[in-house]
């Protein structure tokens, strides 16, 4: 664990120095501010407008962070030949990959916390009860978005072991889109008449992430409490899915010649 932690800390420190991350953070905060400003155009639905667009904005910013960090870390270190120095030491490739993932996850957590604070203030400002309307569902919804981002980070990191950053960006975005419509893919599989088509759709629904389970906007707007067991299922799903993807990334990374 010492090796993994050392790589994670180095990754965190190096990533924090990247100006592009602060640009992304500023965009996220600006997006939340603009959402509050333009909520007045939605007469009678200002609170819903802020929640909907605020959480969607944070989700998209998370996608951007995942592809920037996951898609560029390894290719940049290969181009700068830093990876040769690291792997020449008593560091296994799985330790290197997992350390990179943990460090990037820490950076995303920090940025998500800052955007989460801004969103929470906007949520309370527009809530009919003001700050008295703040509930545990707000941080839970934000935490669900963070978990979704971790899956995208794992996907981007896996793709970056064999592909260029540009391909990783588009492919990770495509995975996000598929994950957002996973329930529709399952529905099509259940409605298909052909057994072969049904199996293809059902298999696809299992392979792509089910991001619909991470979207708590409806529950937040309708004040519907989410059971702790349901949230634990989401956490377990994230750990399992991200773990499997990281395992695949280790297999791909292990085969590369350095």
Q: Please tell me the predicted confidence (pLDDT) of residue 92.
A: 83
DSSP string, 137-184: HHHHHHHHHHHHHHHHHHHHHHHHTTS-HHHHHHHHHHHHHHHHTHHH
Alpha carbons 26 and 22: distance in angstroms, whole number:
6
Q: Please tell me the predicted confidence (pLDDT) of residue 44.
A: 63
Could you list the beta-strand ranges (E) of 72-162. Answer: none
Is the sign of the CA dihedral 5, 153, 251, 87 positive or negative?
Answer: negative
Q: Please tell me the predicted confidence (pLDDT) of residue 257.
A: 65
Domain boundaries, the chain: 2-254
Alpha carbons 70 and 145: distance in angstroms, whole number:
17
Alpha carbons 114 and 124: distance in angstroms, whole number:
16
Q: Please tell me the predicted confidence (pLDDT) of residue 172.
A: 93
pTM recorded for the entire structure:
0.90
Q: Please tell me the predicted confidence (pLDDT) of residue 139.
A: 92
- Listed residue (158, 151, 171, 164) closest to 252, CA to CA: 158
Report mean pLDDT in 10-residue bins for the chain, 258 residues.
86 85 87 81 77 90 91 84 77 87 94 93 86 87 95 94 90 90 73 72 79 87 82 93 92 74
Could you list the beta-strand ranges (E) of the chain. Answer: none
Indicate the length of the chain as a whole number.
Answer: 258
């Amino acid at each position: 664990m010492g090796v993994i932690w050392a790589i994670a800390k180095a990754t965190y420190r190096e990533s924090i120095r990247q100006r592009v991350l602060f640009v992304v953070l500023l965009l996220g905060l600006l997006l939340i501010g603009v959402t509050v400003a333009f909520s007045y155009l939605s007469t009678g639905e200002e609170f819903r407008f802020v929640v909907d667009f605020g959480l969607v904005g944070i989700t998209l910013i998370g996608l951007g962070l995942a592809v920037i960090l996951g898609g560029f870390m390894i290719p940049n270190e290969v181009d700068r030949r830093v990876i040769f120095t690291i792997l020449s030491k008593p560091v296994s490739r799985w330790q290197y990959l997992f350390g990179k993932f943990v460090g990037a996850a820490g950076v995303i957590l920090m940025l998500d916390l800052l955007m989460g604070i801004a969103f929470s203030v906007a949520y309370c400002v527009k809530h009919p009860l003001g700050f008295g309307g703040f509930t545990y569902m707000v941080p839970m919804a934000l935490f669900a978005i963070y978990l979704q981002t971790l899956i995208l980070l794992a996907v981007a990191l896996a793709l970056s072991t064999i592909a260029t950053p540009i391909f990783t960006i588009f492919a990770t975005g495509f995975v996000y889109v598929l994950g957002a419509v996973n329930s529709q893919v399952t529905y099509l599989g259940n409605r298909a008449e052909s057994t072969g088509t049904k199996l293809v759709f059902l298999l696809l629904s299992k392979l792509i992430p089910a991001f619909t389970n991470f979207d708590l906007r409806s529950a937040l707007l309708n004040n519907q409490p989410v059971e702790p067991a349901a949230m634990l299922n989401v956490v377990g799903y994230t750990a399992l899915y991200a773990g499997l993807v990281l395992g695949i990334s280790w297999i791909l990374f292990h085969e590369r010649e350095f």
